Amino acid sequence: MLKLAVIPGGICGGCDVALASLGEKLAEILKYYEIVYWPIAVDKKLSNLMNMNHIDVLIYMGAITTEEDAKLAKELSAKARVRVALGTCSVYGGIPGLNALYKPADIIKTISLLVDTKLESSALGLPQPVQHMAYTDVVEPEVLAPGCPPTDKVLDQLTEILLNYAKSGKLEARTMLLGDSESLCNNCPRNPKTTKIAMPGIKRLYEVKLDSNKCFLEQGVLCMGPATRAICTHPCIKFNYPCIGCGGPVEWGSDSGLSMISTLASVLLVDDEKKLLEPGLARELNKIRDVLGTFYKYTLRKSKAYALKNKAGGEG
Amino acid sequence: MCHCGVNIAGTVDVKKVVEEVKKLPDVVYAADYVYLCSQPGQELIINAVKEHKLDGVVVAACTPSLHYETFAKAVEKAGLNRYVYEMVSIREFDSWVHADRALATEKAIKIIATAVAKLRGDKPYERARLDVIRKALVVGGGIAGITAALSLAKMGIPVILVEKYATIGGKMAMLHETFPTLDCAQCILTPLMAEVARHPLVKIYTLAEVDSVEGHVGKFKVKIKIRPRGVRVEDCRLCGFCERVCPISVSSEFDRGLSKRKAIYIPFAQAVPSAYVVDFEHCNRCGLCVKVCPTKAVNLEEKERVIEEEVGAIIVATGYELYPLEKIPEYSYGPENDVIDSLQFERILSVQGPTRGEVKRPSDGKPVKRVVFIQCVGSRDVNHLPYCSKICCMYTAKHALLFLENVPDGEAYVFYIDVRAAGKGFEEFVKRAQEHGAVYIKGRVSRIYKDKLTGDVVVEGFDLLENREIVIRADLAVLAPGIVSALDKRLAEMLKVPVDQFMFAAEIHPKLRPVEVASAGIFIAGCVQGPKDIPDSIAQASAAAAKAAELLIQGYVEKEPIVAEVDRDKCNGCRACVTVCPYGAIEIVEGKARVNEIVCEGCGACTATCPVGAIQLRNYREEQALEMVRAVMRVR
């Protein structure tokens, strides 16, 4: 039996549920693997895990938000033969990654203003917060399984990898980014046309009655689909809700927010550019509320925007 | 590496650069020469390639716009593909702009290092050679279109001339006399019309419009929609019987509504083609004309047809229209109010016009003694057209002069903002009008209305120079409306003619390439490019014909192979590239982008817009750019 450990970092629980919902496939996996740690599923002690010499497969879920997370991630990963980053937080920093622009102390201060409880970490014995990171900022995992939560498509691919590894003891490639190597537009269910695409302006969802058969961008609604990896089967888009980019960029290492911004610049009000000129276009672009939260909702921690900010040493 | 005499070597330590460049990865040979562009300099490159079996060359010298081709030829002579050669400027970008020798030397090394880094990713490509169909299409049969067509035909190139109306001639045919020489417009235009119609290499389609355009430079497939004329041109003898019996009477376009014509008519006596035409919109199919026609030329059953032509080049000469005066209600435009536009006044002056050249009021036929001319109607007005329409100052001076000559006891007033009379003989011409008694008033007109009691046209304005309001009671007011492009959006899109915000065609370079547009094989002439007078239109049409002939007479075009390529595995079919491509070179085929290599000009707009990095420019790939950046960072 191979040893499988599932380590939660700063998580919301969605990845736990997604993994548990594997159901029968989980049973199949358990023919080859013994779960040596997974707090919500099995009653195993962390101290035992820490004492183990090696772990075969380690699945890390969530972002790294505390010193404890960071320590566990580093020490346990060193013992693991195959490291899996499960969920967008683990791969790209996810929504907690949006905190990366702020100092931990400032975040605690802000929270203190909102809630009554004294958040004196040491007094309460709470772990010390660290600058929020993705798991991939600490180690270089062999398998990257993005999704918020990880989709069936991604989990099926992960199951396959785990079973193959159990049987052959080998991985197909050194770094595997799960999902399909294309963006969501490729199989978009919204009857894409073949003529040019023009965005009539920037509209928020409440301002427009969405046609469920027409490209979101052509209706003025920002959709991250063009720059987002196809890790899903368009559930949001089919539900008449634009993609918000939880799958991350199409290729590991690229920057989906930046790609989307340059694409947007190309298609926004393309027929009226000469009439609006730069001030008119700028006015339209200013309608985008929360630029980082729109283009980098899930990937800020791994983005060039963050790298630049970090280099400049600036704050918020 | 070139010294360029002391141009480079004076500021850059050439020997040191060569030593450092030799240390760069993959560099097997580096040398310098005093004038690399000279014959021995080129031999140096050729010998080095052969001797060291080089598979790539970097030349660091002046600017590629000066000597790229020189060294490309040398590289080809040495047996290498020209696309595995890079030229970088260490003169304009380095020695000429820096003074510090050490820093300039370091910069030269860095510049060369980037070129070496880029070269590593360069692949050899072959230029495609395309045959060019030796035939041209001219869209628009005004003076510009006629000039271009005739010029091409005289060079032996077959021409298709497409005109929207029933006759060629355009706006110039409506004019009475032309400034500043007062040549009779008809007398100088109609011989040209006849000549172009007679020329065996020119095929004229009137009542015709371009319906669709496919293909690319050298081979455009054009569909032309031809509306029925209802009269067989070759059988019509202009006897006019049909016109006499026709019971339908409508206002004449040629006289701009100042006279009536029948539903079967000839636009004007010297129309080309010289034949009557049926106005099917107003014709009631009574058949009287069919009965009286002695040659059985009339056919009311004629149907619209679409013909196809293949041409190698297209000249767009769609001309202008006057700014719609309904948009300026405060001037009460309308012949019934005796407020007319400049072309209507041309018709009134014309001996062939509705009044046989007598200046009479359109409303009641009363002889006109006092006229007010208003310049810049719509032009130079932020609420209408911000630009200057260029020709109005001159034709208004002409109108004033002709009126005063025609009516010696008449009075002519001209409201102007500025008189722009820049042109040969123009200033003198305006002076002449003023000496003849035309009164020039600097200021805007705020309101024009018809006094119903007296029948006067009342013009209220402001005299800036005397700083007072001014009211003139006149017999006639003549407006000089701004010029707007007659190019419609659909045609511009079909022909891929880039336009500005006023639908004027945008030339590639306003100074150096005034008759070419960004789409290869398309040329522009006349007012489609911007307001201009007859001499300018003719000059530009001749230039467009010459440029088209360059292409057509050569017989082929060579296509740079540095175009965009799509990785169809990565492409998601999002269409952003289709949107940004200024040449219309990208289409979506089976859900993915495809680049037409012939149409693509390699600008790279698509590569910047692609959200997944699926579209890349050959030899300018993203990896190459990153390698170049890394190279700069590495060299110290």
SS3 annotation, A254-270: CCHHHHHHHHHHHHECC
Same domain, A136 and A204: no
Same domain, B358 and B274: no
Same domain, A203 and A300: yes
Give A-chain residues touching B571 at CB under 8 angstroms.
186
Same domain, B150 and B90: no
Same domain, A141 and A10: yes
Whether chain A has a CB inside 8 Å of the CB on B608: the answer is yes
Domain of B51?
Answer: 6-125
Residue from B507, B508, B511, B509 nearest B525 by CA: B507
Least confident window among A211-220, B156-165, B327-336, B514-523: A211-220
**Orientation of helix B39-52 relative to helix B64-77, angle to 10°:** 50
Number of CB pairs, chain A paired with chain B, less than 8 A apart: 87
Query: What per-residue string of b and e applies to A29-54 under the rule 16 or more CB within 10 Å gives b?
Result: beebbebbbbeeeeeeeeeebeeeee
Nearest-neighbour CA in chain A from B502: distance (Å) = 9
CB under 8 Å to B576, separation ≥6 — which residues? A197, A226, A263, A266, A267, B606, B609, B610, B611
Same domain, A38 and A173: yes
Nearest-neighbour CA in chain B from A215: distance (Å) = 10
Residue B130 lies inside a defined structural domain of this protein: no
Same domain, A8 and A151: yes
Map tokens 């090696």 to a residue: A54
Same domain, B342 and B401: yes
Say which DSSP state B231 is in.
B
Query: What's A21-73 look like in SS3?
Result: CCCHHHHHHCCCEEEEECCCCCCCCHHHHHHCCCEEEEEEECEEEEHHHHHHH
Number of domains in chain B: 5
Contact A214, A236 (CB under 8 A): no
Q: Cβ A184–B608 below 8 Å, yes or no? A: no
Same domain, A184 and A97: no
Same domain, B53 and B72: yes
Residue A126 lies inside a defined structural domain of this protein: no
Which of B484, B509, B543 is the last residue in one of the domains?
A: B484
Whether chain B has a CB inside 8 Å of the CB on A274: the answer is yes
Residue B630 lies inside a defined structural domain of this protein: no
Nearest-neighbour CA in chain A from B169: distance (Å) = 33
Same domain, A208 and A273: yes
* CA–CA dist A277, B351 (Å, integer): 48
Q: Cβ B612–A226 below 8 Å, yes or no? A: yes
Residues within 8 A of B (CB atoms), A 229-258 only: 250-251, 254, 256
Same domain, A156 and A253: no
Contact B131, B102 (CB under 8 A): no
Give A-chain residues touching B589 at CB under 8 angstroms.
194
Residue A90 lies inside a defined structural domain of this protein: yes
Map tokens 């791994």 to a residue: A302
Residue B627 lies inside a defined structural domain of this protein: no
Residue B489 lies inside a defined structural domain of this protein: no
CB under 8 Å to B280, separation ≥6 — which residues? B227, B228, B230
Whether chain B has a CB inside 8 Å of the CB on A167: the answer is no
Give B-chain residues touching A259 at CB under 8 angstroms.
610-613
Residue B628 lies inside a defined structural domain of this protein: no
- Measured between CA atoms, the residue of chain A closest to residue B592 is A186
Same domain, B41 and B147: no
Which of B303, B333, B355 is the last residue in one of the domains?
A: B303
Averaged pLDDT for residues B415-442:
95
pLDDT of residue B635: 63
Q: Encode pLDDT of A35-77 as tens digits.
A: 999 998 888 888 888 888 899 999 999 999 888 888 889 888 9
Q: What are phi and psi of A132, to 5 degrees?
A: -65, 140
Same domain, B209 and B254: no
Confidence of residue A266 (pLDDT cuts 50, 70, 90): confident
Is-cis flag, bond preceding B531, omega within 30?
no
Q: Cβ B569–A259 below 8 Å, yes or no? A: no
Residue A232 lies inside a defined structural domain of this protein: yes
Residue B1 lies inside a defined structural domain of this protein: no
Averaged pLDDT for residues A25-29:
90
Per DSSP, what are the bridge partners of residue B142? none
Nearest by CB: B573 against A186, A266, A275: A186
Residue B43's Cβ-side half-sphere holds a number of Cα atoms within 13 Å equal to 3
Residue A87 lies inside a defined structural domain of this protein: yes
Residue A70 lies inside a defined structural domain of this protein: yes
Residue B631 lies inside a defined structural domain of this protein: no
Helix or strand (DSSP H, E) at B19: helix B14-22
Nearest-neighbour CA in chain A from B594: distance (Å) = 11
Confidence of residue B117 (pLDDT cuts 50, 70, 90): very high
Same domain, B59 and B149: no
Whether chain B has a CB inside 8 Å of the CB on A260: the answer is yes
Residue A115 lies inside a defined structural domain of this protein: no
Domain of A33?
Answer: 2-102+132-177
pLDDT of residue B40: 92
User: ipTM score here?
Assistant: 0.76
Give B-chain residues touching A192 at CB under 8 angstroms.
573-575, 588, 591
Whether chain A has a CB inside 8 Å of the CB on B603: the answer is no
Same domain, B34 and B121: yes
Whether chain A has a CB inside 8 Å of the CB on B605: the answer is yes
* CA–CA dist B337, B340 (Å, integer): 8
- Whichever domain contains A35, its CATH number is 3.40.50.700
Same domain, A171 and A197: no
Whether chain A has a CB inside 8 Å of the CB on B588: the answer is yes
Q: Cβ B572–A183 below 8 Å, yes or no? A: yes
pLDDT of residue A117: 61
Q: Cβ B570–A270 below 8 Å, yes or no? A: no
How many Cβ atoms are within 10 Å of B51's Cβ, its own excluded? 10
Number of domains in chain A: 2
Q: Cβ B613–A254 below 8 Å, yes or no? A: yes
Q: Kindly tell me if the per-residue pLDDT of B68 is higher than 70.
A: yes
Q: Kindly tell me if the per-residue pLDDT of B73 is higher than 60.
A: yes
- Measured between CA atoms, the residue of chain B closest to residue A198 is B579
Contact B334, B275 (CB under 8 A): no
Averaged pLDDT for residues B564-591:
86
Q: Encode pLDDT of B319-336 as tens digits.
A: 999 999 999 999 999 999
Same domain, B431 and B327: yes
CA B2 vs CA B48, B67, B490: distances in Å: 15, 12, 51
Give B-chain residues touching A260 at CB under 8 angstroms.
611
Same domain, B54 and B120: yes
Amino acid at B48: A
- Measured between CA atoms, the residue of chain A closest to residue B567 is A182
Residue from B242, B249, B252 nearest B275 by CA: B242
- Across chain B, mean pLDDT equals 93
Nearest-neighbour CA in chain A from B581: distance (Å) = 9
Residue B625 lies inside a defined structural domain of this protein: no
Question: Which of A291-295, B467-471, B583-587 holds the top average pLDDT?
Answer: B467-471
Residue A161 lies inside a defined structural domain of this protein: yes
Same domain, A140 and A262: no
Q: Kindly tell me if the per-residue pLDDT of A119 is higher than 60.
A: no
* CA–CA dist A180, A251 (Å, integer): 10
Q: Encode pLDDT of B441-496 as tens digits.
A: 999 999 999 999 999 999 999 999 999 999 999 999 999 999 999 999 999 988 88
Nearest-neighbour CA in chain B from A275: distance (Å) = 6
- Whichever domain contains B260, its CATH number is 3.30.70.20
* Percentage, residues of chain B above pLDDT 70: 100
* CA–CA dist B210, B219 (Å, integer): 16
Amino acid at B440: Y
- Measured between CA atoms, the residue of chain B closest to residue A184 is B572
Q: Kindly tell me if the per-residue pLDDT of B307 is higher than 50.
A: yes
Q: Kindly tell me if the per-residue pLDDT of B244 is higher than 80.
A: yes
Amino acid at B282: H
SS3 content of chain B, % helix, strand, coil (to 5): 35, 25, 45
Give A-chain residues touching B610 at CB under 8 angstroms.
259, 263
Amino acid at A306: Y
Q: Cβ B612–A251 below 8 Å, yes or no? A: yes
Same domain, A143 and A186: no
Nearest by CB: B572 against A226, A262, A275: A226
Q: Encode pLDDT of B540-554 as tens digits.
A: 999 999 999 999 999
Same domain, A168 and A187: no
Same domain, B377 and B478: yes
Whether chain B has a CB inside 8 Å of the CB on A281: the answer is no
pLDDT of residue A315: 44
Map tokens 């500025």 to a residue: B418
Whether chain B has a CB inside 8 Å of the CB on A227: the answer is yes
Residue A122 lies inside a defined structural domain of this protein: no
Does this model's pTM top 0.90? My answer is: no
Helix or strand (DSSP H, E) at B264: strand B264-265
Nearest-neighbour CA in chain B from A188: distance (Å) = 9
Averaged pLDDT for residues B349-373:
93
pLDDT of residue B337: 95
Q: Kindly tell me if the per-residue pLDDT of A316 is higher than 50.
A: no
